[in-house]
Amino acid sequence: MNEIHFANPNLLWLIFIVVPMVAYYIYRTIQGGATIQISSIKSVNAISHTYKYYLRHLPFIIRLCAVTLLIVAIARPQSREVGSSSKTEGIDIIMAIDVSTSMLARDFNPDRISAAKDVASRFIVDRKSDRMGLVIFASESFTQSPLTTDKGSLQNLMTQIQCGVLDDGTAIGNGLATSINRLKESEAKSKVVILLTDGVNNSGTVMPPTAAAIAKSFGIKVYTIGVGSEGTAPYPAQDMWGNMTYVDVNVEIDEEMLRAIANETGGEYFRATDKDALIEVYKTINKLERSEVETNDFVNYLELFSTFVLMGLALLIVEQLLNYLVFRSIP
């Protein structure tokens, strides 16, 4: 932001010197110049005034402006630019979300997958300076979005996640391995995977402990989240007539394995038994993984002294030219 600043503001009081200048000019004007005795002024009054009569005070006005500009110049006007520069140390984050059919259980409102998508979308909005990506997994894993700073696009891809797009199963190791592949070449100061699942690893070609060891070798921190209520949860199913119904199924989450992955990589394990608890989990992760922002304030000065001096001198020259060439008076 640019603003005018004076290095010697006290000298601006000299502007009041124009007051006695104006007073003296008025006094001289009233007193008049040389006198000529004439018998009658009738013939004088009949003479029409030229433009010189109406502009006779112009040289003095120009002189006042010149003096004012010179006084402003000695007060050293400066253009001051005040601002700040910031350097952000962002974090690269991959969100790995389980899309197996068990995520359709209704112990979350309206179901686990919808709650997970909604809460993760809010988390995306809060991470303004970070690159984020999205991986989904069931019996296999798939990159829904590579690392990007386009949060609008990422949120749009998040809404398109649905269960059933991959063969059913829970390949936690594969989901983590795909996330690692998206982060291993990253040069970010901090690399994070947030892995969300509601089950037990029962498929895939990469075992979770192996994936955790690989993540550790690349300096990737893994936060694991187990979603599901305690005991049983209503799961959508069809009855013998083809009608939609709900049956209670046991909630089985391999918390020991998820906790081991988090501990191996320096992350944390969280259990969310409802949507509100899941919101709190993401809030906690948001606080734990903060981007570092370095801000430097600066002030730049541009001297305007010469500009005002040149303007003042130019006006003095104009005044002299007017006095000697246009308004020249009889001595």
Q: Does the pLDDT at position 12 exceed 80?
A: yes
Q: Supply the pLDDT for residue 83.
A: 61
Listed range (90-104, 151-165, 233-247) with the worst mean pLDDT: 233-247
Residue 266 and residue 153 in one domain: yes
Residue 8's pLDDT band, with cuts at 50, 70 and 90, is confident
Q: Does the pLDDT at position 109 exceed 80?
A: yes
**271/42: higher pLDDT:** 271
Alpha-carbon distance values, 104 to 164, 195, 253, 290 (Å): 10, 17, 15, 32
34 is a domain residue? no
Residue 318 and residue 278 in one domain: no
Q: Does the pLDDT at position 132 exceed 90?
A: yes
Residue 150 and residue 57 in one domain: no
113 is a domain residue? yes
Q: Supply the pLDDT for residue 42.
A: 53
Q: Does the pLDDT at position 297 exceed 90?
A: no
Q: Does the pLDDT at position 319 exceed 90?
A: no
As for how many domains the chain has, the answer is 2
Q: Domain with 145 in it: what CATH number?
A: 3.40.50.410
10 is a domain residue? yes
In the predicted model, what is the mean pLDDT of residues 191-215?
A: 96
Residue 305 and residue 262 in one domain: no
Residue 125's pLDDT band, with cuts at 50, 70 and 90, is very high
Residue 181 and residue 304 in one domain: no
Q: Supply the pLDDT for residue 303.
A: 82
Residue 64 and residue 107 in one domain: no
133 is a domain residue? yes
Residue 205 and residue 73 in one domain: no
Residue 162 and residue 237 in one domain: yes
Share of the chain above pLDDT 70, in %: 85
In the predicted model, what is the mean pLDDT of residues 131-158?
A: 95
Residue 144 and residue 113 in one domain: yes
Q: Residues 26-78: pLDDT tens digits?
A: 888 787 655 555 555 555 555 556 666 667 778 888 888 988 888 888 888 88
147 is a domain residue? yes
Residue 252 and residue 139 in one domain: yes
167 is a domain residue? yes
Q: Supply the pLDDT for residue 160.
A: 95
Residue 113 and residue 203 in one domain: yes
Residue 141 and residue 235 in one domain: yes
CB 312 within 8 A of CB 69: yes
3-state secondary structure the chain: CEEEEECCHHHHHHHHHHHHHHHHHHHHHHHCCCCCCCCCCHHHHCCCCCHHHHCCCHHHHHHHHHHHHHHHHHCCEEEEEEEEEEEEECEEEEEEEECCHHHHCCCCCCCHHHHHHHHHHHHHHHCCCCEEEEEEECCCEEEEEEEECCHHHHHHHHHCCCCCCCCCCCCHHHHHHHHHHHHCCCCCCEEEEEEEECCCCCCCCCCHHHHHHHHHHCCEEEEEEEECCCCEEEEEEECCCCCEEEEEEECCCCHHHHHHHHHHHCCCEEEECCHHHHHHHHHHHHHHCCCEEEEEEEEEEEECHHHHHHHHHHHHHHHHHHHHHHCCCCC
258 is a domain residue? yes
199 is a domain residue? yes
Q: Which of 64, 80, 72 is nearest to 8 (CA)?
A: 72
Q: Supply the pLDDT for residue 279.
A: 95
* Mean pLDDT score of the chain: 86
Residue 281, domain extent: 91-290
Q: Does the pLDDT at position 268 exceed 90?
A: yes
Q: Residues 298-317: pLDDT tens digits?
A: 667 788 878 888 998 888 88
